[in-house]
Structure 1
Amino acid sequence: MDQDLYEPARVAAVFDRCSRRYRGWSSLASFGVIHYWRRLCVAALGLPRESTACGVDLMAGTGELWPHLLARHPRLGRITAIDISPGMHAAAMARLHAARAGRITHLCADMLRTDLPDGSADFAVSSFGLKTFNAAQHRVMARQIARILRPGAPYALIEAADPDGWVLHPLYRIHLDRVLPLVERLFLDGAQDFAMLGAYTRGFGDGQSVVDALAEAGLSVRVRRSFGGAALCFHGHKPH
Protein backbone atom coordinates (compact mmCIF):
# COMPACT_ATOMS: atom_id res chain seq x y z
CA MET A 1 0.00 0.00 0.00
CA ASP A 2 1.34 3.43 -0.96
CA GLN A 3 2.01 5.12 2.38
CA ASP A 4 1.74 8.53 0.73
CA LEU A 5 -2.01 7.89 0.66
CA TYR A 6 -2.04 8.61 4.38
CA GLU A 7 -0.21 11.92 4.29
CA PRO A 8 -2.60 14.42 5.92
CA ALA A 9 -2.22 16.96 3.10
CA ARG A 10 -3.06 14.33 0.48
CA VAL A 11 -6.07 13.08 2.44
CA ALA A 12 -7.33 16.65 2.82
CA ALA A 13 -6.90 17.29 -0.91
CA VAL A 14 -8.82 14.14 -1.89
CA PHE A 15 -11.76 15.04 0.30
CA ASP A 16 -11.65 18.69 -0.73
CA ARG A 17 -12.31 17.57 -4.28
CA CYS A 18 -14.98 15.09 -3.14
CA SER A 19 -16.76 17.45 -0.79
CA ARG A 20 -19.38 18.90 -3.12
CA ARG A 21 -20.71 15.48 -4.10
CA TYR A 22 -19.74 13.43 -1.05
CA ARG A 23 -23.14 13.01 0.59
CA GLY A 24 -24.98 11.98 -2.55
CA TRP A 25 -22.20 9.81 -3.93
CA SER A 26 -21.64 7.88 -0.68
CA SER A 27 -25.34 7.13 -0.47
CA LEU A 28 -25.51 6.00 -4.10
CA ALA A 29 -22.32 3.94 -3.91
CA SER A 30 -23.55 2.04 -0.84
CA PHE A 31 -27.13 1.63 -2.18
CA GLY A 32 -28.27 3.64 0.85
CA VAL A 33 -26.84 1.17 3.38
CA ILE A 34 -24.48 3.86 4.68
CA HIS A 35 -27.41 5.50 6.49
CA TYR A 36 -28.11 2.25 8.35
CA TRP A 37 -24.42 2.02 9.28
CA ARG A 38 -24.41 5.53 10.68
CA ARG A 39 -27.48 4.74 12.81
CA LEU A 40 -25.66 1.61 13.98
CA CYS A 41 -22.70 3.72 15.05
CA VAL A 42 -24.88 6.11 17.05
CA ALA A 43 -26.77 3.22 18.71
CA ALA A 44 -23.48 1.58 19.72
CA LEU A 45 -22.75 4.53 22.04
CA GLY A 46 -25.44 3.21 24.37
CA LEU A 47 -26.42 6.68 25.59
CA PRO A 48 -29.87 7.12 27.19
CA ARG A 49 -32.38 8.69 24.81
CA GLU A 50 -32.72 11.80 27.00
CA SER A 51 -28.95 12.26 27.36
CA THR A 52 -27.67 15.83 27.48
CA ALA A 53 -24.08 14.72 26.90
CA CYS A 54 -21.58 16.85 24.98
CA GLY A 55 -19.20 15.02 22.66
CA VAL A 56 -16.93 15.00 19.64
CA ASP A 57 -17.46 13.87 16.05
CA LEU A 58 -14.04 12.95 14.65
CA MET A 59 -13.31 13.03 10.91
CA ALA A 60 -16.78 14.53 10.73
CA GLY A 61 -16.93 15.07 6.97
CA THR A 62 -19.98 17.10 6.02
CA GLY A 63 -21.83 16.25 9.21
CA GLU A 64 -23.57 13.05 8.15
CA LEU A 65 -23.77 11.74 11.73
CA TRP A 66 -25.44 14.81 13.20
CA PRO A 67 -29.01 14.05 12.05
CA HIS A 68 -28.74 10.52 13.46
CA LEU A 69 -27.28 11.73 16.75
CA LEU A 70 -29.93 14.38 17.23
CA ALA A 71 -32.80 12.14 16.12
CA ARG A 72 -31.86 9.47 18.66
CA HIS A 73 -30.85 11.94 21.38
CA PRO A 74 -32.79 15.18 20.84
CA ARG A 75 -31.51 16.75 24.08
CA LEU A 76 -27.81 16.30 23.37
CA GLY A 77 -25.57 19.17 24.33
CA ARG A 78 -22.87 20.61 22.13
CA ILE A 79 -21.21 18.49 19.44
CA THR A 80 -17.67 19.46 18.51
CA ALA A 81 -16.96 18.24 14.98
CA ILE A 82 -13.43 17.98 13.55
CA ASP A 83 -12.34 17.41 9.95
CA ILE A 84 -9.04 18.03 8.18
CA SER A 85 -10.53 18.95 4.79
CA PRO A 86 -11.40 22.63 4.23
CA GLY A 87 -13.87 21.56 1.52
CA MET A 88 -15.67 19.16 3.83
CA HIS A 89 -15.52 21.81 6.57
CA ALA A 90 -17.18 24.36 4.27
CA ALA A 91 -19.89 21.88 3.25
CA ALA A 92 -20.49 21.03 6.91
CA MET A 93 -20.79 24.69 7.85
CA ALA A 94 -23.37 25.12 5.12
CA ARG A 95 -25.50 22.54 6.95
CA LEU A 96 -25.43 24.49 10.22
CA HIS A 97 -28.81 26.11 9.75
CA ALA A 98 -30.49 27.90 12.64
CA ALA A 99 -31.78 24.72 14.26
CA ARG A 100 -28.24 23.36 14.73
CA ALA A 101 -25.86 26.31 14.69
CA GLY A 102 -26.05 26.72 18.46
CA ARG A 103 -25.35 23.05 19.12
CA ILE A 104 -22.49 22.17 16.77
CA THR A 105 -18.99 23.62 16.67
CA HIS A 106 -17.02 22.60 13.58
CA LEU A 107 -13.23 22.78 13.59
CA CYS A 108 -11.19 22.47 10.40
CA ALA A 109 -8.24 20.63 11.92
CA ASP A 110 -6.27 17.39 12.00
CA MET A 111 -7.73 15.25 14.80
CA LEU A 112 -4.32 13.61 15.31
CA ARG A 113 -3.06 17.00 16.50
CA THR A 114 -6.15 18.40 18.17
CA ASP A 115 -5.64 20.26 21.42
CA LEU A 116 -9.15 19.71 22.76
CA PRO A 117 -8.93 19.61 26.57
CA ASP A 118 -8.30 16.37 28.43
CA GLY A 119 -11.45 14.69 29.71
CA SER A 120 -13.71 17.21 27.95
CA ALA A 121 -16.01 14.85 25.99
CA ASP A 122 -18.91 12.73 27.22
CA PHE A 123 -18.75 10.63 24.03
CA ALA A 124 -16.81 10.31 20.76
CA VAL A 125 -18.06 9.14 17.38
CA SER A 126 -16.61 8.80 13.90
CA SER A 127 -17.99 7.50 10.63
CA PHE A 128 -15.87 6.36 7.70
CA GLY A 129 -12.68 8.26 8.47
CA LEU A 130 -10.57 5.48 10.02
CA LYS A 131 -9.46 4.09 6.66
CA THR A 132 -7.56 7.28 5.87
CA PHE A 133 -5.08 6.45 8.67
CA ASN A 134 -2.33 3.85 8.66
CA ALA A 135 -1.53 1.66 11.68
CA ALA A 136 0.82 4.20 13.27
CA GLN A 137 -1.80 6.94 12.88
CA HIS A 138 -4.43 4.64 14.41
CA ARG A 139 -2.31 4.52 17.57
CA VAL A 140 -2.13 8.31 17.71
CA MET A 141 -5.89 8.52 17.08
CA ALA A 142 -6.64 6.06 19.88
CA ARG A 143 -4.48 7.99 22.34
CA GLN A 144 -6.29 11.18 21.37
CA ILE A 145 -9.69 9.58 21.96
CA ALA A 146 -8.56 8.23 25.33
CA ARG A 147 -7.23 11.67 26.28
CA ILE A 148 -10.32 13.61 25.21
CA LEU A 149 -12.92 11.31 26.80
CA ARG A 150 -13.85 11.71 30.44
CA PRO A 151 -13.59 8.52 32.56
CA GLY A 152 -16.50 6.18 31.84
CA ALA A 153 -17.44 7.91 28.57
CA PRO A 154 -18.34 5.77 25.52
CA TYR A 155 -17.11 5.92 21.95
CA ALA A 156 -18.27 4.37 18.66
CA LEU A 157 -16.35 4.38 15.36
CA ILE A 158 -17.61 2.81 12.14
CA GLU A 159 -15.68 2.05 8.98
CA ALA A 160 -16.00 0.14 5.72
CA ALA A 161 -13.65 -2.85 5.72
CA ASP A 162 -12.29 -5.48 3.32
CA PRO A 163 -13.83 -8.76 4.56
CA ASP A 164 -11.77 -11.49 2.86
CA GLY A 165 -13.89 -14.29 4.29
CA TRP A 166 -17.21 -12.83 3.15
CA VAL A 167 -18.96 -14.89 0.49
CA LEU A 168 -19.76 -11.75 -1.47
CA HIS A 169 -16.21 -10.37 -1.19
CA PRO A 170 -15.38 -10.78 -4.92
CA LEU A 171 -18.50 -8.82 -5.92
CA TYR A 172 -17.75 -6.23 -3.25
CA ARG A 173 -14.25 -5.65 -4.64
CA ILE A 174 -15.52 -5.44 -8.23
CA HIS A 175 -18.02 -2.82 -7.07
CA LEU A 176 -15.34 -0.75 -5.29
CA ASP A 177 -12.44 -1.24 -7.70
CA ARG A 178 -14.14 -1.27 -11.11
CA VAL A 179 -17.77 -0.18 -11.09
CA LEU A 180 -17.47 2.95 -8.93
CA PRO A 181 -14.34 4.30 -10.69
CA LEU A 182 -16.05 3.76 -14.06
CA VAL A 183 -19.19 5.59 -12.95
CA GLU A 184 -17.08 8.39 -11.54
CA ARG A 185 -15.04 8.70 -14.72
CA LEU A 186 -18.14 8.79 -16.95
CA PHE A 187 -20.45 10.97 -14.88
CA LEU A 188 -18.29 13.05 -12.54
CA ASP A 189 -16.13 14.98 -14.98
CA GLY A 190 -13.51 12.25 -15.21
CA ALA A 191 -12.38 12.69 -11.60
CA GLN A 192 -10.98 9.68 -9.78
CA ASP A 193 -11.04 10.88 -6.20
CA PHE A 194 -13.91 8.66 -5.07
CA ALA A 195 -12.00 5.73 -6.58
CA MET A 196 -9.42 6.36 -3.86
CA LEU A 197 -11.95 5.19 -1.29
CA GLY A 198 -11.59 1.66 -2.66
CA ALA A 199 -7.82 1.85 -2.17
CA TYR A 200 -8.24 3.11 1.38
CA THR A 201 -10.70 0.30 2.14
CA ARG A 202 -8.29 -2.32 0.83
CA GLY A 203 -5.51 -0.86 3.00
CA PHE A 204 -7.78 -0.84 6.04
CA GLY A 205 -8.29 -4.60 5.72
CA ASP A 206 -10.01 -6.22 8.70
CA GLY A 207 -9.45 -3.27 11.04
CA GLN A 208 -7.22 -5.17 13.45
CA SER A 209 -4.86 -2.20 13.73
CA VAL A 210 -7.75 -0.16 15.16
CA VAL A 211 -8.59 -2.85 17.72
CA ASP A 212 -4.95 -3.07 18.77
CA ALA A 213 -4.59 0.71 18.98
CA LEU A 214 -7.73 1.22 21.08
CA ALA A 215 -6.74 -1.54 23.50
CA GLU A 216 -3.18 -0.18 23.73
CA ALA A 217 -4.63 3.24 24.63
CA GLY A 218 -6.45 1.66 27.58
CA LEU A 219 -9.95 1.73 26.10
CA SER A 220 -12.33 -1.20 26.26
CA VAL A 221 -13.12 -2.35 22.72
CA ARG A 222 -15.73 -4.52 21.07
CA VAL A 223 -16.34 -4.99 17.35
CA ARG A 224 -19.70 -5.41 15.65
CA ARG A 225 -19.63 -6.72 12.12
CA SER A 226 -22.29 -5.73 9.58
CA PHE A 227 -22.95 -7.25 6.15
CA GLY A 228 -20.38 -9.98 6.62
CA GLY A 229 -17.79 -7.52 7.86
CA ALA A 230 -18.19 -5.01 5.02
CA ALA A 231 -18.56 -2.49 7.83
CA LEU A 232 -17.07 -2.71 11.32
CA CYS A 233 -18.26 -0.76 14.35
CA PHE A 234 -15.63 -0.41 17.07
CA HIS A 235 -17.16 0.62 20.37
CA GLY A 236 -16.41 0.69 24.06
CA HIS A 237 -15.59 3.19 26.78
CA LYS A 238 -12.81 4.80 28.75
CA PRO A 239 -12.50 2.98 32.07
CA HIS A 240 -13.16 4.86 35.29
Structure 2
Amino acid sequence: MVAAMTRESSGADDARDTHFGFRSVPEAEKQGHVDAVFDRVARRYDLMNDLMSGGLHRLWKDALIAWLAPPKTGAGWSVLDVAGGTGDIALRIAEAAPAAEITVLDINPNMLDVGEARARKRGLAGRLTFVEGNAEEIGLPDQAFDAYTIAFGIRNVTHIDRALAEAYRVLRPGGRFLCLEFSPVDMPMLDRIYDLYSFNVIPAMGRLVAGDAEPYRYLVESIRRFPDRETFAGMIEAAGFSRVSYRCLSGGIAVLHSGWRI
Protein backbone atom coordinates (compact mmCIF):
# COMPACT_ATOMS: atom_id res chain seq x y z
CA MET A 1 0.00 0.00 0.00
CA VAL A 2 1.30 3.47 -0.81
CA ALA A 3 0.52 6.70 0.95
CA ALA A 4 -2.81 8.35 0.25
CA MET A 5 -2.80 10.97 -2.50
CA THR A 6 -5.27 13.82 -2.91
CA ARG A 7 -6.09 15.02 -6.41
CA GLU A 8 -7.94 17.96 -7.90
CA SER A 9 -8.89 16.48 -11.25
CA SER A 10 -11.94 17.40 -13.28
CA GLY A 11 -15.14 15.37 -13.21
CA ALA A 12 -16.04 12.82 -15.87
CA ASP A 13 -19.43 11.74 -17.15
CA ASP A 14 -19.89 8.08 -17.97
CA ALA A 15 -23.55 8.48 -18.92
CA ARG A 16 -22.80 7.66 -22.57
CA ASP A 17 -20.90 4.47 -21.73
CA THR A 18 -22.78 1.68 -23.45
CA HIS A 19 -20.14 -1.02 -23.21
CA PHE A 20 -20.57 -4.42 -21.67
CA GLY A 21 -16.98 -5.52 -21.27
CA PHE A 22 -15.45 -4.83 -24.68
CA ARG A 23 -18.77 -5.36 -26.48
CA SER A 24 -21.04 -2.40 -27.11
CA VAL A 25 -24.67 -2.88 -26.11
CA PRO A 26 -27.60 -0.48 -25.76
CA GLU A 27 -27.27 1.39 -22.48
CA ALA A 28 -30.73 0.26 -21.39
CA GLU A 29 -29.58 -3.36 -21.57
CA LYS A 30 -26.43 -3.06 -19.45
CA GLN A 31 -28.14 -3.59 -16.09
CA GLY A 32 -29.83 -6.73 -17.38
CA HIS A 33 -26.50 -8.11 -18.54
CA VAL A 34 -24.88 -7.33 -15.21
CA ASP A 35 -27.77 -8.94 -13.33
CA ALA A 36 -27.37 -12.09 -15.41
CA VAL A 37 -23.65 -12.26 -14.65
CA PHE A 38 -24.20 -12.03 -10.90
CA ASP A 39 -27.10 -14.46 -10.99
CA ARG A 40 -24.60 -16.96 -12.36
CA VAL A 41 -21.82 -16.28 -9.85
CA ALA A 42 -23.76 -15.47 -6.66
CA ARG A 43 -23.11 -18.82 -5.01
CA ARG A 44 -19.46 -18.72 -6.03
CA TYR A 45 -18.75 -15.07 -5.26
CA ASP A 46 -15.75 -15.75 -3.03
CA LEU A 47 -14.33 -18.03 -5.70
CA MET A 48 -14.83 -15.31 -8.30
CA ASN A 49 -12.93 -12.77 -6.21
CA ASP A 50 -10.22 -15.28 -5.35
CA LEU A 51 -9.68 -16.01 -9.05
CA MET A 52 -9.64 -12.34 -10.02
CA SER A 53 -7.32 -11.19 -7.22
CA GLY A 54 -5.28 -14.28 -6.39
CA GLY A 55 -6.91 -14.19 -2.95
CA LEU A 56 -5.73 -10.64 -2.25
CA HIS A 57 -9.29 -9.28 -2.11
CA ARG A 58 -9.51 -10.44 1.49
CA LEU A 59 -6.55 -8.24 2.47
CA TRP A 60 -7.91 -5.33 0.44
CA LYS A 61 -11.27 -5.55 2.21
CA ASP A 62 -9.48 -5.59 5.56
CA ALA A 63 -7.65 -2.44 4.40
CA LEU A 64 -11.00 -0.80 3.65
CA ILE A 65 -12.25 -1.55 7.16
CA ALA A 66 -9.00 -0.25 8.69
CA TRP A 67 -9.29 3.05 6.76
CA LEU A 68 -12.99 3.34 7.60
CA ALA A 69 -12.13 2.85 11.29
CA PRO A 70 -15.71 2.19 12.45
CA PRO A 71 -16.22 3.11 16.12
CA LYS A 72 -16.09 0.17 18.51
CA THR A 73 -18.55 1.90 20.81
CA GLY A 74 -21.28 4.45 20.31
CA ALA A 75 -24.76 3.36 19.29
CA GLY A 76 -26.30 5.18 16.38
CA TRP A 77 -23.32 5.11 14.00
CA SER A 78 -24.81 3.82 10.76
CA VAL A 79 -23.29 2.54 7.53
CA LEU A 80 -24.77 1.68 4.15
CA ASP A 81 -22.88 -0.99 2.22
CA VAL A 82 -23.92 -0.84 -1.44
CA ALA A 83 -23.57 -3.71 -3.92
CA GLY A 84 -22.58 -5.76 -0.89
CA GLY A 85 -25.21 -8.47 -1.07
CA THR A 86 -22.99 -11.34 0.03
CA GLY A 87 -22.05 -9.46 3.18
CA ASP A 88 -18.26 -9.50 2.82
CA ILE A 89 -17.86 -5.88 3.92
CA ALA A 90 -20.88 -5.67 6.21
CA LEU A 91 -19.86 -8.70 8.26
CA ARG A 92 -16.38 -7.25 8.71
CA ILE A 93 -17.91 -3.99 9.93
CA ALA A 94 -20.23 -5.86 12.30
CA GLU A 95 -17.28 -7.64 13.87
CA ALA A 96 -15.19 -4.46 14.12
CA ALA A 97 -18.00 -2.25 15.45
CA PRO A 98 -20.47 -4.14 17.68
CA ALA A 99 -22.74 -1.09 18.07
CA ALA A 100 -22.92 -0.15 14.39
CA GLU A 101 -26.21 -0.05 12.51
CA ILE A 102 -25.54 -1.75 9.16
CA THR A 103 -27.69 -1.76 6.04
CA VAL A 104 -26.72 -3.85 3.02
CA LEU A 105 -28.17 -2.80 -0.34
CA ASP A 106 -27.87 -4.85 -3.53
CA ILE A 107 -29.84 -4.98 -6.76
CA ASN A 108 -29.49 -8.76 -7.02
CA PRO A 109 -31.73 -10.88 -4.75
CA ASN A 110 -29.54 -13.96 -5.20
CA MET A 111 -26.56 -12.08 -3.80
CA LEU A 112 -28.68 -10.88 -0.87
CA ASP A 113 -29.76 -14.46 -0.15
CA VAL A 114 -26.10 -15.45 0.15
CA GLY A 115 -25.41 -12.56 2.53
CA GLU A 116 -28.37 -13.31 4.76
CA ALA A 117 -27.35 -16.96 4.99
CA ARG A 118 -23.81 -15.95 5.97
CA ALA A 119 -25.09 -13.54 8.61
CA ARG A 120 -27.29 -16.25 10.13
CA LYS A 121 -24.40 -18.72 10.14
CA ARG A 122 -22.25 -16.24 12.09
CA GLY A 123 -25.04 -15.33 14.48
CA LEU A 124 -25.15 -11.77 13.15
CA ALA A 125 -28.51 -11.82 11.37
CA GLY A 126 -30.01 -9.36 13.86
CA ARG A 127 -27.22 -6.86 13.25
CA LEU A 128 -27.65 -6.46 9.49
CA THR A 129 -30.58 -5.20 7.43
CA PHE A 130 -30.66 -6.45 3.81
CA VAL A 131 -32.43 -4.28 1.23
CA GLU A 132 -32.94 -4.88 -2.48
CA GLY A 133 -32.25 -1.69 -4.39
CA ASN A 134 -30.32 0.09 -7.13
CA ALA A 135 -27.18 2.14 -6.39
CA GLU A 136 -28.45 4.77 -8.84
CA GLU A 137 -31.76 5.20 -7.00
CA ILE A 138 -31.30 3.97 -3.45
CA GLY A 139 -34.75 4.82 -2.14
CA LEU A 140 -33.58 5.53 1.42
CA PRO A 141 -33.89 8.88 3.26
CA ASP A 142 -31.57 11.86 2.81
CA GLN A 143 -28.67 12.19 5.26
CA ALA A 144 -29.43 8.86 6.93
CA PHE A 145 -25.92 7.35 7.20
CA ASP A 146 -22.53 8.15 8.67
CA ALA A 147 -20.65 6.04 6.13
CA TYR A 148 -21.20 4.59 2.66
CA THR A 149 -19.07 1.69 1.43
CA ILE A 150 -18.98 -0.09 -1.90
CA ALA A 151 -16.50 -2.82 -2.86
CA PHE A 152 -16.06 -4.08 -6.41
CA GLY A 153 -19.52 -2.86 -7.36
CA ILE A 154 -19.38 0.63 -8.78
CA ARG A 155 -17.82 -0.38 -12.09
CA ASN A 156 -20.96 -2.43 -12.83
CA VAL A 157 -23.27 0.57 -12.37
CA THR A 158 -24.69 1.94 -15.62
CA HIS A 159 -24.38 5.60 -14.58
CA ILE A 160 -21.56 6.02 -12.09
CA ASP A 161 -22.27 9.73 -11.68
CA ARG A 162 -25.80 8.97 -10.49
CA ALA A 163 -24.54 6.40 -8.00
CA LEU A 164 -22.06 8.93 -6.60
CA ALA A 165 -24.80 11.57 -6.34
CA GLU A 166 -26.91 9.08 -4.38
CA ALA A 167 -23.98 8.30 -2.09
CA TYR A 168 -23.63 12.01 -1.34
CA ARG A 169 -27.39 12.38 -0.78
CA VAL A 170 -27.74 9.62 1.82
CA LEU A 171 -24.68 10.67 3.84
CA ARG A 172 -24.95 13.04 6.78
CA PRO A 173 -22.66 16.08 6.93
CA GLY A 174 -19.33 14.70 8.11
CA GLY A 175 -20.15 11.34 6.50
CA ARG A 176 -17.53 9.21 4.74
CA PHE A 177 -17.57 7.61 1.28
CA LEU A 178 -15.23 4.66 0.75
CA CYS A 179 -14.97 2.69 -2.49
CA LEU A 180 -12.76 -0.32 -3.18
CA GLU A 181 -12.41 -1.12 -6.86
CA PHE A 182 -10.11 -2.83 -9.31
CA SER A 183 -8.11 -0.35 -11.34
CA PRO A 184 -6.30 -0.43 -14.69
CA VAL A 185 -2.69 -1.29 -13.82
CA ASP A 186 -0.11 1.19 -15.13
CA MET A 187 3.07 -0.13 -13.52
CA PRO A 188 5.56 -1.29 -16.20
CA MET A 189 5.80 -5.08 -16.50
CA LEU A 190 3.12 -5.63 -13.85
CA ASP A 191 0.49 -4.39 -16.31
CA ARG A 192 1.56 -6.99 -18.90
CA ILE A 193 1.68 -9.79 -16.37
CA TYR A 194 -1.73 -8.84 -14.98
CA ASP A 195 -3.26 -8.60 -18.46
CA LEU A 196 -1.92 -12.04 -19.34
CA TYR A 197 -3.33 -13.47 -16.14
CA SER A 198 -6.65 -11.64 -16.45
CA PHE A 199 -7.53 -12.37 -20.06
CA ASN A 200 -6.15 -15.89 -20.31
CA VAL A 201 -5.95 -17.53 -16.91
CA ILE A 202 -9.05 -16.19 -15.13
CA PRO A 203 -11.66 -17.18 -17.78
CA ALA A 204 -10.01 -20.59 -18.16
CA MET A 205 -10.06 -21.13 -14.40
CA GLY A 206 -13.68 -19.98 -14.29
CA ARG A 207 -14.59 -22.59 -16.89
CA LEU A 208 -12.64 -25.30 -15.07
CA VAL A 209 -13.74 -24.55 -11.51
CA ALA A 210 -17.19 -23.01 -11.98
CA GLY A 211 -18.11 -24.50 -15.34
CA ASP A 212 -18.64 -21.10 -16.94
CA ALA A 213 -16.01 -18.76 -18.34
CA GLU A 214 -18.29 -15.99 -19.61
CA PRO A 215 -19.05 -14.19 -16.30
CA TYR A 216 -15.34 -14.11 -15.50
CA ARG A 217 -14.50 -12.78 -18.96
CA TYR A 218 -17.01 -9.96 -18.51
CA LEU A 219 -15.70 -9.06 -15.05
CA VAL A 220 -12.13 -8.88 -16.36
CA GLU A 221 -13.21 -6.71 -19.29
CA SER A 222 -15.24 -4.42 -17.03
CA ILE A 223 -12.06 -3.53 -15.13
CA ARG A 224 -10.48 -2.24 -18.34
CA ARG A 225 -13.54 -0.07 -19.00
CA PHE A 226 -13.50 1.51 -15.55
CA PRO A 227 -12.02 5.03 -15.29
CA ASP A 228 -8.43 5.32 -14.10
CA ARG A 229 -7.86 6.39 -10.50
CA GLU A 230 -7.34 10.08 -11.33
CA THR A 231 -10.49 10.30 -13.42
CA PHE A 232 -12.58 8.49 -10.84
CA ALA A 233 -11.25 10.77 -8.09
CA GLY A 234 -12.45 13.69 -10.21
CA MET A 235 -15.89 12.10 -10.51
CA ILE A 236 -16.11 11.78 -6.73
CA GLU A 237 -15.23 15.46 -6.36
CA ALA A 238 -17.78 16.39 -9.04
CA ALA A 239 -20.46 14.64 -6.95
CA GLY A 240 -19.77 17.16 -4.16
CA PHE A 241 -17.33 15.27 -1.94
CA SER A 242 -14.41 17.02 -0.22
CA ARG A 243 -10.95 15.82 0.85
CA VAL A 244 -10.99 13.22 -1.91
CA SER A 245 -8.02 10.87 -1.78
CA TYR A 246 -7.03 7.37 -2.78
CA ARG A 247 -4.68 4.58 -1.81
CA CYS A 248 -3.21 2.13 -4.30
CA LEU A 249 -3.11 -1.51 -3.22
CA SER A 250 -0.83 -4.23 -4.58
CA GLY A 251 0.80 -2.06 -7.22
CA GLY A 252 -2.46 -0.41 -8.24
CA ILE A 253 -4.37 -3.60 -9.05
CA ALA A 254 -6.99 -2.28 -6.64
CA VAL A 255 -7.56 1.23 -5.31
CA LEU A 256 -9.33 2.56 -2.22
CA HIS A 257 -11.08 5.89 -2.84
CA SER A 258 -12.22 8.13 0.00
CA GLY A 259 -14.34 11.28 0.15
CA TRP A 260 -16.19 13.26 2.80
CA ARG A 261 -19.50 15.09 2.80
CA ILE A 262 -18.61 18.33 4.55
Task: Find out whether 1:126 has 2:162 as its counterpart.
Answer: no
The residue number in structure 1 matching 2:238 is: 216
Which amino acid in structure 2 is aligned with residue 55 of structure 1? V
More deviation, 175-184/189-198: 189-198
Deviation of 1:164 (Å): 2.1
Deviation of 1:191 (Å): 3.9
Specify which of 73, 76, 81 is matched with residue 50 of structure 1.
73
8 Å contact kept, 1:45–1:235: no
- C-alpha separation in 1, matches of 2:251 and 2:168: 29
Q: Trace 1:64-79 onto structure 2 (pairs within 5 A).
A: 64-76=88-100, 78-79=101-102
8 Å contact kept, 2:85–2:106: yes
Deviations 1:40-89 (A, max 9, x none): 1122224333353111001113111123212322221x211111112212
More deviation, 78-87/145-154: 78-87
- C-alpha separation in 1, matches of 2:181 and 2:147: 18
Deviation of 1:23 (Å): 1.4
The alignment yields a C-alpha RMSD, in angstroms, of: 1.9
Q: How many residues align?
A: 236
Deviations 1:199-237 (A, max 9, x none): 011111423443122101211211111111111101121
Which amino acid in structure 1 is aligned with residue 147 of structure 2? F
- C-alpha separation in 2, matches of 1:139 and 1:204: 13
The residue number in structure 2 matching 1:30 is: 53
The 1:5/1:233 distance shift into structure 2, 3 A limit, reads farther
The residue number in structure 1 matching 2:195 is: 173
**Partner secondary structure for residue 104 of structure 2:** strand
The residue number in structure 2 matching 1:2 is: 23
8 Å contact kept, 2:102–2:127: yes
More deviation, 45-54/8-17: 45-54
Question: What is the identity percentage for the equivalent residue pairs of Structure 1 and Structure 2?
Answer: 28
- C-alpha separation in 2, matches of 1:5 and 1:56: 30
Task: Find out whether 1:60 has 2:81 as its counterpart.
Answer: no
- C-alpha separation in 2, matches of 1:112 and 1:87: 19
- C-alpha separation in 1, matches of 2:73 and 2:193: 41
Deviation of 1:167 (Å): 3.4
- C-alpha separation in 2, matches of 1:154 and 1:214: 12
- C-alpha separation in 2, matches of 1:5 and 1:204: 18
**Partner secondary structure for residue 125 of structure 1:** strand
The residue number in structure 1 matching 2:186 is: 164
Deviation of 1:11 (Å): 0.9
Gap regions ≥5 residues in structure 2: 1-21
User: Runs in 1 of length 4+ with deviation above 6 angstroms?
Assistant: none
Specify which of 165, 169, 175 is matched with residue 143 of structure 1.
165
The residue number in structure 2 matching 1:88 is: 111
- C-alpha separation in 1, matches of 2:26 and 2:38: 12
More strand by share: 2
Deviations 1:23-50 (A, max 9, x none): 1331244222101110111222243333
Task: Find out whether 1:18 has 2:41 as its counterpart.
Answer: yes
Larger RCO, structures 1/2 (Cα 8 Å, 6+ apart): 2
- C-alpha separation in 2, matches of 1:81 and 1:155: 15
- Compute the TM-score of the two structures, normalised by the length of structure 2: 0.83
